[in-house]
Amino acid sequence: MTDHPQWYRDAVIYSLDVKTFADGNGDGIGDFVGLRDRLDYLDDLGVTCLWLLPFYPSPWRDNGYDVADYYGIDERLGTMGDFRRFLDEAHDRGMRVLADMVFNHTSTDHPWFQRARDGDEEYRDYYLWTDDPESAPDVQNIFPGEEDGVWTYDEAADAHYYHQFYHFQPDLNVSNPAVQDEIERVLRFWTEQGLDGFRVDAATPMIGPKGAEPVSIDDPHSLFRRMKSTVGDVDEETVLLAEADDEPAELKRYFGTGDEFDLLLSFVSNAHLVWALVDENADHLGEAFDRLPDYDEVAEHGQWANFLRNFDELNLGPLPRQEFDRAFERIGADPDTRLYGRGVRRRLAPLLDGDPDRIACATSLCFALPGTPIIVAGDEIGMGDELSLPGRDAVRTPIQWTDDPTGGFSTGDAETLFRPVVEGEYGPESVNVAAQSGEPDSLLAHVREIIATRKACPELSRGEQSVVETEDPAVFLHRSDWGETTLLTAHNVGSEPTTVNLDAPDDVVTHLLGPGEYSLDSDTVSIELGGYEYCWLRLGRPRTRSA
């Protein structure tokens, strides 16, 4: 890998869960041996960075986000040696690796909490307690319908502890300097192991006022600055990615002055993007640009991380109220798919009727947004969901490599899998990597092409960004100006053919990507798009990328 402190600006991130990616020992659970064996596939796909969901020792009551030990590898996923061999081989292929880090809360199984509930005063202050939850501020739990409030009584402690998430995930008191020291030690340890960065889970609730008599850090963002300084002291290229689901006007603060987060997951863009795709109206996506801080100001110190789906519910909460009601009714038409009054537990392919052209267009559009694109494991082949599984587990099924009963995920029996593979029209007999690998017109082939093109377009991370208005509401037209070149990306999220005309004073036009066609007449370029088609054009002569 080359020395490049801002490597994240040109990265393509692939998010995966080790336990559902590839099983290397046949026990039905994915592991680091299986992941290492699939690195050639990821290299061929073209991704440059892997984001791993939590792999630390955990009861797995919340998919590993209930951490019981910050310093180890869950034995079901392998050993520290397995992890290091995977990391070395990923680095040998030029891939960076980010890991999820959960500091808002721990598992109730964590030794800190066990010592706290047993009366150890030092560790008691690692968490938040009260004898009178009825007089505490009325705070809604993150998981309404599954959790009844934010206080749970612990018999050993004879007190109630505070938890914004599940009752087995007590919140850490991050205003406690001792907890901040623990956070620093954990980050330093894993950075020294060779990780290239961290996706910080629940960054917003982490620093918010907590507890019966709400406590918070005097300067909440000072903790993020300390975290960034800690990893930077080990390796200046280490990146912090924030899960910060805050008000749009507040988001820019998470970048600081280049001394906090490098990347910020854009939940606002995500909700508007998916709604635009489902409603076949690109104006919804344009509204996201209107609501978010100006990109040029954001790019001064950091960058958005754009995504279509993750391994949680599709969160429509960032939409304006009127749009939310319409979107939730439409996307969550099946009541069984709805979660928490805000989300839908479906993967990308079912949201777009399993249409490969729509999925390719959606992927291209996500990659054409200014920022760093993220793709979730399985979306490159159009994997579906398994609604028979509880809650968010519906979108967390094993990756389908082949058409055999386990989808090629494991050599064990299907009955032994940690989670079952998808059944029905999106099952492995219909959707798998092997079947698409040799097909030049498969979704997988198109996604590879999209990734390769995005990596060759620094305009999207370094240029001046603008949305170009069109007369057709189904078309999203975006312009990126960088040096002597202009990158134009046009996407038709509707089913009807359309033509877009715009001024193009430069007579050097290069077609980079997509089935859409263009013609040049004098100072006008015309882009013809069929239903669900896209087209990337570069105007002018590209300059050499600089660090």
Catalytic residue annotation: 201, 243
> How crowded is residue 122: how many other Cβ atoms within 10 Å of its Cβ?
11
For 120, half-sphere exposure in the C-beta direction (CA atoms, 13 angstrom radius) is 11
* Helix H or strand E segment including 324: helix 321-331
CA dist 222 and 36 (Å) reads 37
- The amino acid present at 100, given as its one-letter code, is D
- b/e per residue, 278-294, with b = 16+ CB within 10 A? bbbbbebbbbbbebbbe
CA-nearest of 73, 103, 79, 56 to 240 is 103
The strand pair at 485-492 and 498-503 is best described as: unpaired
CB 372 within 8 A of CB 344: no
* 3-state SS string for 455-474: HCCCHHHHCEEEEECCCCCC
For 256-272, what is the HEC assignment? CCCCCCCEEECHHHHHH
Nearest of 385, 378, 238, 245 to residue 305 by alpha carbon: 245
Angle of CA points 225, 231, 237, to nearest 5°: 105
CA pair distance 466, 518, nearest whole angstrom = 20
Tokens encoding 420: 């079952």
Provide the 3-class DSSP secondary structure of residue 524. Answer: strand
For Cα atoms 75, 80, 86, give the angle at the middle one, nearest 5 degrees.
110
The whole-angstrom separation of Cα 65 and Cα 53 is 8
